[in-house]
Amino acid sequence: MAKRKTTFVCQECGYESPKWMGKCPACNQWNTLVEELVASQRNSGHIIGTGQTLKTKPESITAIETEEEPRVTTKMAEFNRVLGGGIVPGSLVLIGGDPGIGKSTLLLQVSDQLASKNLSVLYISGEESIRQTKLRADRLGVTSKNLYVLAETNLLDISNQIEKLEPSFVVIDSIQTIFREEVTSAPGSVSQVRECTSELMRIAKGKNIPIFIVGHVTKEGSIAGPRLLEHMVDAVLYFEGERHHTFRILRGVKNRFGSTNEMGIFEMKEEGLREVLNPSEIFLEERSQGAAGSTVVASMEGSRPVLVEIQSLISPTSFGNPRRMATGIDHNRVPLLMAVLEKRVGLMLQNQDAYVKVAGGVKLDEPAIDLAVAVSIASSFRDEPSKPDDVLIGEVGLTGEIRRVSRIDQRVQEAAKLGFKRAIIPNKNLEGWTPPSEIEVIGVNTVHDALKATLGGR
Walk across the sheet containing 352-358 and list its strands.
324-327, 352-358, 304-316, 294-301, 390-392, 422-426, 440-444
Q: Tell me, what's the pLDDT at 40?
A: 53
DSSP class per residue in 177-230 = G-B-TT--SPTTSHHHHHHHHHHHHHHHHHHT--EEEEEEB-TTSSBSS-THHH
Residues 77 and 264: their CA atoms lie apart, in Å, by 9
| Domain spanning 77-277, CATH architecture | 3-Layer(aba) Sandwich (3.40)
- Rounded distance, CA 278 to CA 382, Å? 33
252 annotated among ligand-binding-site residues? no
In 71-168, the DSSP E strands lie at: 92-97, 121-125, 147-151
Q: Side by side, which strands form the sheet with 121-125? A: 147-151, 121-125, 169-173, 211-216, 92-97, 235-240, 247-255, 263-269, 272-275
Question: According to the annotation, is 120 in a ligand binding site?
Answer: no
- The answer to the question of whether 97 is labelled as a binding residue is yes
d(CA 436, CA 211): 44
* Residue 388 near residue 349 (C-beta atoms within 8 A): no
Consecutive sets of 10 residues in the chain, 458 residues long: mean pLDDT of each?
74 83 88 77 43 66 80 92 92 89 93 94 94 93 94 94 95 91 82 89 94 79 62 90 79 87 86 88 82 93 89 91 92 94 93 92 90 96 92 96 94 93 95 91 95 78
Residue 221 has what pLDDT? 53
> Is residue 124 a known part of a binding site?
no
Instruction: Quote the DSSP letter at residue 367.
Output: G
Residue 408 annotated as binding? Answer: no
241 assigned binding-site residue: no
Backbone CA torsion sign across 215, 220, 226, 229: positive
Contact in structure between 447 and 374 (CB atoms under 8 Å): yes
Q: How many CB atoms lie within 10 A of CB 1?
A: 3
Domain boundaries along the sequence of the chain? 6-37, 77-277, 282-455
22 marked as part of a ligand binding site: no
Residues 349, 338: contact at Cβ < 8 Å? yes
pLDDT for the residue numbered 86? 93
> Does 96 carry a binding-site annotation?
no
Predicted local confidence at residue 412, as pLDDT: 95
Q: What is the pLDDT of residue 125?
A: 94
CATH placement of domain 282-455 = 3.30.230.10
What pLDDT, on the 0 to 100 scale, is given for residue 51?
Answer: 43
